[in-house]
Amino acid sequence: MNNSHFSTNHNIRFPFAHTFSFVARDADTGQLGVAVQSHWFSTGSLVTWGEAGVGVVATQSMVEVSYGPLGLEGMRQGISPQSVLDDLLAKDDGRELRQVAMVNSSGLVAAHTGARCIAEAGHEIGEQFSAQANMMLKNSVWHAMADAFRSTKGELSERLMVALEAAQNEGGDIRGKQSAAMLVVEGNKQPHPWQGITLDLRVDDHPEPLQELRRLLKVNKAYQSMNAGDAYLADGKIDEAFNAYNLAASLAPEIVELPFWQAVTLAESGKVTESLPVFKMVFAADKNWVELLKRLPAAGLLKVSDSDLQLILNQ
């Protein structure tokens, strides 16, 4: 199979990214998210688009990528998703090959499944969400996604993840699986379009892309906890900072950098004794952390006495 396909006018080539995806707004937080899995390389670079306080877009099937940025541009101007989508479809000779869904910051939704999308293909629009899929093994995939999203509580990222897993459990893409992605942005508009991104994860090529995406969600949460710890520390909330650092380390114990910075924070906060076993564990995993620690005082990132520094290095 070729890596792309001709449009109806045979002068433009489009990526052949048949897939299943989900777009949604979280009614509680206002966050907007889009998630996807496909048997196609790097589906996230084609399908998922979003901007904080504006909306999210999934463009798939015979992908016309411009539906992503142009859809966001229209919603940014305050035009409803349905009007934006209608305008884009009216100008597209290949509209019957497209599958597109949008939701804006108010929760308005629009979706389109072209008549020439390869079966099984369809979509289901619900309250502030749309599930869509094409080239599926069964015509129940998008309904399974919608049901899973409705019945799941918690963070938007988790609800999107469960929806993708439900699609795969229902049979998923008839060709199999290769890549996945998830993008979540804040509900409030930001000064610049690159701001307000809560998470942006991609699995470009993997035998189990959803399993890998779920693992990355956990790692992302660990790093968010580290960032929260830094914020607490800057505000002088030492106990809250340590709790956040401990959570980060527990979520991703295989990443030794997380406890390293936790130990640095302990030492800088006057808790050198408490930091020593953490440093010892990190140094045992990789001696390069010893060398990095030596470089921190010159950068102003570790303010301890010379004797305490030597005590740490002796670990």
| Beta pairing partners, 25 | 32
pLDDT at 13: 52
**pLDDT over 90 (residue 281):** yes
Instruction: Check residue 4 and give its pLDDT.
Output: 36
Q: How many domains does the chain have?
A: 2
Is residue 163 located within the same domain as residue 78? yes
Q: Are 245 and 222 in contact (CB under 8 A)?
A: no
Residue 7, pLDDT > 70, answer no
- Which long-range contacts (C-beta less than 8 Å, at least 24 apart) are formed by 243-248? 247/222, 248/222, 248/223
Q: For position 188, which CATH number holds?
A: 3.60.20.10
Distance separating alpha carbons of residues 38 and 119, to the nearest angstrom:
15
Shared domain for 195 and 227, answered yes or no, is no
The pLDDT, as a whole number, for residue 16 is: 64
The answer to whether residue 68 is domain-embedded is yes
Asked if residues 101 and 57 have their Cβ atoms less than 8 Å apart, the reply is: yes
129 contact partners, CB below 8 Å, separation of at least 6: 22, 23, 24, 25, 103, 109, 146, 149
- Yes or no: say if 20 and 132 are a contact pair by the CB < 8 Å rule: yes
Last residue in a domain, options 146, 175, 206? 206
| Alpha carbon distance 3, 63 (integer Å) | 12
pTM for the full predicted model:
0.88
211 within domain boundaries: no
Q: Give yes or no for residue 237 having a pLDDT over 90.
A: no
- Do 198 and 67 sit in the same domain of this protein? yes
Nearest to 181 by CA among 217, 213, 156: 213
Nearest partner of 50 among 72, 65, 70, 73, judged by Cα: 72
Residues 187/32, Cβ–Cβ less than 8 Å = yes
pLDDT over 50 (residue 307)? yes
304: Cα within 13 Å, side-chain hemisphere: 25
For the stretch 53-69, pLDDT in tens is: 999 999 999 999 999 99
Place 10 in a pLDDT band, splitting at 50, 70 and 90.
very low
Kindly tell me the sign of the dihedral angle through the C-alpha atoms of 135, 141, 145, 146. positive
Q: In the chain, what's the furthest Cα-to-Cα distance?
A: 75
The span from the CA of 292 to the CA of 298, in Å, is 11
Residue 270 lies in a domain: yes
Q: What is the mean pLDDT of residues 184-193?
A: 95
Question: What's 280's domain CATH number?
Answer: 1.25.40.10
Determine if the peptide bond prior to 120 is cis (ω within 30°).
yes
Q: Which domain holds residue 288?
A: 222-313
Model confidence band, residue 141 (pLDDT cutoffs 50, 70, 90): very high
Query: Is residue 217 one of the residues assigned to a domain?
Result: no
Is 157 part of a structural domain of the chain?
A: yes
Mean pLDDT of 136-147: 97
Same domain assignment for residues 152 and 228 = no
Same domain, 144 and 266: no
The residue among 181, 206, 231 that closes a domain is 206
The Cα–Cα gap between 205 and 20 comes to 16
Are residue 235 and residue 186 in the same domain, yes or no?
A: no
Task: Look at residue 149 and tell me if it is in a domain.
Answer: yes
